[in-house]
Structure 1
Amino acid sequence: AVDDSLERFRPARGQETDVGELRRLVAASREVGCTSRTVDLLGSIGREVPELQEAVLETLVFGEIPDEAMEKVLSYYGSLLQDSTDDNIRALAINGIGRLGVEEAIPLLTSLVLGDDGDSVTERKAALTMIRSIGGPRSLEGFIEILTKLPDSDSLYPTALTDAIGMIPTDPSLGLARRLLVDGSGQRYPWYDQAIRSEGVAQALQAKGQPTDLRTRSPFRFEQWIPLQSLRIEALIMDLLALEEAPAEKWREILGEVTATVGLFGEDPLSSDLQIYAWKVRAVAIEIENRLAVEDALSQGETERITLAFSAYLEAIAVQAANPPIERLLSEDPWDWLLKMIEKRPPLESDPALVRSLRTLAEGVPARDDVRERLDLLEARADSGGKERSPAPPLPVPDEEAEGQE
């Protein structure tokens, strides 16, 4: 009955509009609830009778809207945001979008954040909050579009990234985490470095937070988790390698996480895609274990123990190299790593014996020529009490011999 009355009192060409009666009918439609036809009629009245625009909008925002009319209402809100400069009308329309809380609203909210329909910071913040509250894959797609198109100098960029990261721990499949970090071709997004190191991603990926039967309980999550955890471990390692001197305790923390990760792989063979990541993670465990053993031996100054530990490290690296070629996360050459540590510390009484032992090892491996040269310099430093020997100056050439050379 209300719809019929709205139809009857709609403005007609050449006739005077009964604004008072229409206002009453608009309010009544809010009380009884809107049908799809009601939405059509209210939208028409709102466009044709400017003085009723706010009343129509309040009815749509605070009234009952059937599912089949959602797209019509969103379209009406969008047209208002595009055409109206009235702050109250715009605020009501944005509120209405948020109250609908449907994924179909995300493109409209995204355009608001990007400033397509208005530059108000308040409006943009409200739209960003609504995208976050809707949640789900479509919301994340909205955030990715925003982060891709907004300059990182925009005041809302950090908020958008924080909100996007905040969605990750709520997704049991880890599909959102993968989508936020890399695109469909596997390329990392510009915000990758910040996201992979964030609290939200760490909370979702850390091995100690996964169920012990992850592989059998949640096969899809397991398949998402292995490559993502490999990326996170890589970031942890890169951060330590960037330090001038990383404490051994920090390496032990990473080793604990890596060991827990390997423990979740299970005994059954992995698919070829996942096996590559598994090899990389296992290689990290082997490298860190061996490096810590060498560092511990160095701290004790025991020549035989240092040589044995380093020999075991070289052997482990050789075994890893027998696997299909993968990029080492600890990419520094083992000899460079060891010699750099010895070169940086003051010479010890045990250094001559250590250098001789390492030279024997280098000849057996065999090592590069520059490794032998550095060992020679270390031996010279040890023999001279810590002062490296300079090469002897060339002997003077007799005049007669010099003339003969000419």
Structure 2
Amino acid sequence: MDELFHVSERKSTIGTELRAGLTTFLAMAYIIAVNPAVLSGAGIDAGALACATCLGAGIMTICMGIFANRPLACASGLGVNAMIAGIATTVCGGDWHVAMSVIFLEGVVILLLVLCGLREAIMDAIPVVLRHAISVGLGLFIAMIGLCDAGIITAGAGTLVGLGDITSPTFIVGIISILVTVALACRNVPGSLLIGIVVAVIAGIPLGVTQAPTGIIAPLDFSSIGGPIADAGGVPAIVKVLTDPTLLVISFSLLMSDFFDTMGTAMAVAKQGEFLTDDGNVENIKEILIVDSAAAAVGGFMGVSSITTFVESTSGAADGGRTGLTSVTTGVLFILAAFFSPIVTIVSSAATCGALVYVGYLMMSEASEIDWSDVSQGFPAFMIVAGVPFTYSISAGIGLGFIAYVIVALFKGEASKIKPLMWIAVLAFLVYFFVA
């Protein structure tokens, strides 16, 4: 095991990797309940969705661990699943098989782009300052997710955001998770993020936040699998997508979102997992992108929306995960959860607040690498740092920063500094913003 995953070589231990895998799983476990809740509105059986969500996440996370040997985990992405549910009921006339075929097609195309080297080449063309900004923006985004999940920040009365109800049980559990995590981290206690989650889950029992499981074992249901090859008006669903211009445009929008979301997530996890080089490159990025791209297609085929690399993977990396053994552990737990999902779903999103907020704090260190005194460097970086959390979209925030970088460079007469692939990325973002 040690030789297979290079555990000792990366200054880790098998115990640390297993613990980090559990930390990542608990930080992501909410998707087992949330994904079926979102997609069942499209007409897919909720039990089948829970089963396929676990199996899809488990299989692709294990693939990530074995193929890329980095601590990244995959599962059905939030936001995309809500979009697909809406597409199924509106554009696709209630046929969820066609909607999932849109995801399947997007995954296949983006996989081809990776195999051709385009996706990796675009990442290499990104200026170092923007790579640092992506890490900072992701840190704020991760912290914002944790604070929102705990109700610590909410939509305000007459304002976009405000402080939540401090007497709310969810708020209290979130604060407990933060305090425990930070207190243990101050004392350099191993597994502080995991302990913080567990303590918050226990604290949530008398507060009514941690719900009693509805059972122990859930039956497996595979009825959501195979959407792209299902009949859709006399032809396979995937054929209907390929012949419908509207659905092709939607597929392009999803491709852009997946393309840059994963880039940002990979850089964020690489920073915590210590496989981000000094010039901002992610080690093993090609393998990571291949698995992530294939995961999107697998998600569409399994009927669970796009499976993508989860930003919550940073929690496991921050807890010491350095190898693919962390991912394999997370993946195995997801597969087991397919059988025991009623028990797993007792971990509330509020309980993971502390882990996500602490990871956000750690990622803020990248801000010191940005020369804020130089407008050509600082302003595009700021647009990413502010854009990611303020738009609640990784890809939108990155797009704003890319466009700002090109505009400032043009104003300064430094167009020659812009690499050709950056021009392509900016043009793609402009199209994405207009059609999304």
TM-score, normalization by structure 1:
0.17
Q: Which has the higher contact order (CA 8 A, sep 6+)?
A: 2
Rg: which structure is higher? 1
Query: TM-score under structure 2 normalisation?
Result: 0.17
